[in-house]
């Protein structure tokens, strides 16, 4: 739609015009959210190849869309709760999903922290997520064995369709 909304720093949006129910959940029949945050990269203005004097091909734009609702917390203040996140890269749309069990894994990684180890062998760090349930609960070695033996997620027992190994640099 090309709509933009800008306010100077310190200016607030008056939410008193809206009913709390309208702000705290998406509309039930449509894919309409009360708060949509859109961030897009724009390619730089036409630049020339210094050697040939020809315009360089412009990189395609990338877009991130965050769909959210506003909720009141215990202090009666509004806070944003993200419902969905979408990425558009080179014309392809991706929906981001949470991986359960990863948390702030990379930010404060410590091998001795409880809950960071594989729930099967209890010795190696967990580095493999199960799809479609998205539980990150085991090491890659145990994940390979699991595929052979039971092919079910060790947490929710849902059938495994795919395994994703996620390497975390510490």
> Residue 138: how many CB atoms within 10 A of its CB?
28
Catalogue all structural domains in the chain, each as residue range(s) with its CATH number: 15-96 (no CATH), 97-170 (3.30.40.10)
| The pLDDT of residue 1 is above 60 | no
- Residue 111, Cβ density class (10 Å: 0-12 exposed, 13-18 middle, ≥19 buried): exposed
Residue 7 has pLDDT above 70, yes or no: no
* C-beta atoms surrounding 22 within 10 Å: 13
Q: Quick one: pLDDT at residue 91?
A: 83
Those residues with Cβ within 8 angstroms of residue 97's Cβ, 6 or more apart along the chain or in another chain: 134
pLDDT higher for 138 or 56? 138
User: How many Cβ atoms sit within 10 Å of the Cβ of residue 135?
Assistant: 21
Q: Is the pLDDT of residue 117 over 80?
A: yes
Task: Flag whether pLDDT at 52 surpasses 60.
Answer: no
58 Ramachandran zone, left/alpha/beta (phi>0; psi -120 to 50): beta
d(CA 134, CA 164): 9
Per DSSP (E only), the strands in 44-91 are: 62-72, 78-89
Per-residue pLDDT at 104 exceeds 80? no
Average pLDDT of the chain, as a whole number: 79
């Amino acid at each position: 739609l090309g709509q933009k909304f800008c306010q100077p720093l310190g200016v607030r949006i008056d939410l008193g015009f809206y009913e709390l129910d309208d702000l705290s959940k998406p509309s039930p029949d449509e894919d309409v959210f009360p708060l949509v945050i859109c961030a897009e990269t724009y390619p730089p203005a036409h630049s020339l190849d210094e050697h040939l004097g020809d315009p360089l091909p412009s990189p395609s734009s990338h877009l991130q869309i965050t769909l959210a609702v506003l909720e009141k917390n215990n202090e009666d203040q509004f806070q944003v709760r993200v419902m969905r996140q979408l990425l558009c890269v080179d014309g392809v749309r991706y929906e981001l999903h949470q991986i359960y069990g990863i948390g702030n894994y990379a930010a404060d990684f410590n091998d001795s922290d409880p809950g960071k180890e594989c729930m099967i062998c209890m010795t190696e760090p967990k580095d493999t997520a199960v799809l479609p349930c998205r539980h990150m609960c085991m090491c890659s070695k145990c994940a390979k064995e699991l595929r052979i033996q039971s092919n079910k997620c060790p947490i929710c027992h849902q059938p495994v369709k795919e395994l994703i190994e996620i390497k975390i640099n510490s």
